[in-house]
Amino acid sequence: MTPSIRILPRLIVPDPDRASAFYQDVLGAEQVLRAPLIDDGRPAVVDHRVGGSSFRVSPAVSAWGWLSPSDLGGSAVLLEVEVDDPDVVGERMVAHGAEVVVPIENRPYGKRSGRIRDPFGHLWIVSGELR
């Protein structure tokens, strides 16, 4: 029998509170936990729920090996979010400081999608149904 497993992505960012506010504003994420602070006043982890998914945000702490995309020279991971209206979500992300990497448009594989880099350097594929 396969054990119960959950994968909880943790996004490493310079400012977890600012990142948490961004994800709440643009994705409608619900902050469900803000764990104890580290020495410099940043929370060690902020847990979020979006629909049936969860993800976490933590501060960059080089001594712990926690490096943000800017520390690494870019993001090594693509996060994909499926939404009802990718255009609206993409526009909201850009309005809150993200940048378009690949425009959101109908793709030959049957989805409407594009890539957005959030203000913290993480890359998102914003995807939905064709228009």
Which is nearest to 31 in space by CA: 11, 10, 17, 41? Answer: 17
Query: How many residues belong to the chain?
Result: 131
pLDDT at 3 (0 to 100): 83
> CATH for 10-128?
3.10.180.10
pLDDT at 114 (0 to 100): 98
Intervals of the chain under pLDDT 70: none
Phi then psi for residue 76, to 5 deg, are -95, 0
Where along the chain do its domains lie? 10-128
